[in-house]
Amino acid sequence: MRIGELSERTGTPRRLLRYYEEQGLIVADRLPNGYRVYDGSNVDRVLQIRGLLDAGLPTRIIKQILPCLNKPRIIHFPDATPEMLATLEDERDRMTERIRCLTRNRDAVAEYLAAVRETPAPSV
């Protein structure tokens, strides 16, 4: 598929698909005329990228952790340098912290909403 279809299938502006490529998050083959071509696996990949971005991770980090998540079972160890492993451990912990914080606050919001909903409309 070309960029337009990938854009539609992922709900992502073309601009951003090009940006992700520029940042090294995805790769695209090229047709002889220069058009980018993608296969189905790119859909999932882009959705994952968007999820991570939305979750607050910068592309720099996403680029580092993506290789670890590609084929769930075919973990193909890159030149896992100690620094990279440290970065990953660090990021894993940051994610855990983020999850905790988000959960706490999400629950609080949910509780609030539940409380409001239980209250008869305060007619002025």
CA dist., res. 78 & res. 84, Å (int): 10
Beta-strand pair 36-37/29-30 = antiparallel
**Looking at 33, 81, 116, 123, which residue binds its own copies (CB under 8 A)?**
116
Instruction: Judge contact between 98 and 58, C-beta under 8 A.
Output: no
Q: What is the DSSP letter of 107?
A: H
Q: Report what 115 binds from its own copies, DNA, none; CB cut-off 5-8 Å by kind.
A: its own copies
Residues 15-54: x where in contact with its own copies by CB under 8 A, - otherwise, as a string: ---------------------------------x--xx-x
- How far CA 123 is from CA of 60, 108, 113, 118, in Å, comes to 51, 25, 18, 14
Binding track over 47-86 against its own copies, x by CB under 8 A = -x--xx-xxx--------x--xx--x--x-x--x----x-
- 104 contributes a contact to DNA by CB under 7 A: no
- List residues near its own copies by CB under 8 A: 48, 51-52, 54-56, 65, 68-69, 72, 75, 77, 80, 85, 88-89, 91-92, 94-99, 101-103, 105-106, 108-110, 112-113, 115-116, 119, 122
